[in-house]
Structure 1
Amino acid sequence: VKIRDGKVANRPIYVALAVTVDGNRDILGLWAGDGGEGAKFWLSVLTELKNRGVADACMVVCDGLKGLPDAIGQTWPEAVVQTCIIHLLRASFRYAGRQHWDAIAKALKPVYTAATEAAARERFAEFAQAWGTKYPAIIRLWEQAWAEFVPFLAFDAEIRTVICSTNAIESV
């Protein structure tokens, strides 16, 4: 959004949305970013939430922001960090030619819809074999994000659709 702070500048607004075990949704806060949103920024945000009463988090779905998974681990050590699948796909497209986006999306779908982590790894190996020589950066991206990509695969398909994305926040 455009924010006036001496001068008008575009700044990101970060939203923390909680969903309780009962299914109730609550916006925990909004923060205006200033360009320095590393681990220190995220640790201050999460510490603020913890000090305001968020004692624990079961799962935190985030969109690959640098430093956020580390800050989550420091604040709530038992929390599971899940990368937003849609953001992971969008990040993949940054490394590919526009003419290949549809084919890459179709080739990655079996990876994130696999029944188990082992099946996802097999489908990813197939994807890597087909696209790895043309787009090795996409392969590295998924390999680096793998630990935060797979947690939702342990859940049933109905639950996966809720926890695989930050779309709930984007619709606020």
Structure 2
Amino acid sequence: MAPNENAGVWSEMAEDLKQRGLKQVQLIIADGMVGLQPALLHAFPKAKFQRCLVHVMRKIGSHVRLKDREAILNDFKELRSATDVTAAHKILNDFYGAWEKLYSNLIQQLKSIENELLAFLSFPPAIRTTIYSTNILESLNKRIKHKTKPKEQFPNEKSLDNFIGVQVISYNEKYFNRSHRGFGQVKDTLESLFD
């Protein structure tokens, strides 16, 4: 979409989405892309921002000793099963207490994004497993990559755009009448969040 990631690029993308008709956003789920959060929250100030817990776990795994990796990741994974914000804070405080002596910088980084780790808990339990990560989008990206890989090369950028567009349209048609796991159960609740 752009040669680099920064607030200006994301602001342009948000304005483009608004011009194309996007009016209300309740939740933004993303990894730690530079400038994304302030740009999107400026454009959609009522939205909550959820940091992808899968990406956070990958970061944790890459910043700890191999001998600690399994234990620390298992401790952090408990956050996904928190029933409410109070339980989540207890899980995080226990996590901080257990690992702060060994990984103080990492724990400080996590503390600085704590609210972004817990936004999914503001939504109905039926959809929380879907909205604490960017896995749905990652799955689509993987599917597109799988389809483009055998092509080796495209004659020009327009042909690549067209090919990817066809893949996305095909995906949308396949899943158009389906609700992702849990969303059908809470449709009325989710609709009530919008004006």
**Shift of the alpha carbon at 1:109?**
2.0
Runs of 4+ deviating beyond 3 Å: none
Contact 1:114 1:120 (C-alpha < 8 Å) held by counterparts: yes
Residue 40 (structure 2) aligned to one of 72, 76, 86 = 72
Aligned to 2:176: none
Q: Cα RMSD over matched residues?
A: 1.5
Greater helix proportion: 2
Aligned to 1:140: 108
**Shift of the alpha carbon at 1:99?**
2.5
CA deviation vs aligned residue, 1:41-88 (integer Å, no higher than 9, x gap): 111111111111112212111112121111111111111111111011
Query: 1:156, 1:74 → 2: CA distance?
Result: 25
TM-score normalised to structure 1 length: 0.75
Residue 160 (structure 1) aligned to one of 93, 114, 128 = 128
Give runs of aligned pairs for residues 8-19 of structure 1, distance below 5 A.
none
CA deviation vs aligned residue, 1:87-112 (integer Å, no higher than 9, x gap): 11111122212222111111112233
TM-score normalised to structure 2 length: 0.67
Structure 1 unaligned segments of length 5 or more: list them: 1-30
Greater strand proportion: 1
**Shift of the alpha carbon at 1:139?**
0.8
Aligned to 2:90: 122
Which one has a bigger Cα radius of gyration?
2
**Partner SS state of residue 71, structure 1:** helix
Q: Which has the higher contact order (CA 8 A, sep 6+)?
A: 2
Contact 1:117 1:150 (C-alpha < 8 Å) held by counterparts: yes
**Partner SS state of residue 113, structure 2:** helix
- Pair 112,136 (structure 1): closer, same or farther in 2 beyond 3 Å: farther
What amino acid maps onto 1:135 in structure 2?
Y
**Shift of the alpha carbon at 1:166?**
0.5
Aligned to 1:92: 60
What amino acid maps onto 1:73 in structure 2?
L
Residue 59 (structure 1) aligned to one of 27, 38, 55 = 27
Residue 47 (structure 1) aligned to one of 15, 18, 34 = 15
Give runs of aligned pairs for residues 104-119 of structure 1, distance below 5 A.
104-119=72-87
**Partner SS state of residue 5, structure 2:** coil
**Partner SS state of residue 61, structure 1:** strand
Aligned to 2:50: 82
What amino acid maps onto 1:43 in structure 2?
S
* Seq. identity, %: 30
**Shift of the alpha carbon at 1:170?**
0.8
**Partner SS state of residue 81, structure 1:** strand
Query: 2:124, 2:69 → 1: CA distance?
Result: 28
**Partner SS state of residue 121, structure 2:** helix
What amino acid maps onto 1:145 in structure 2?
I
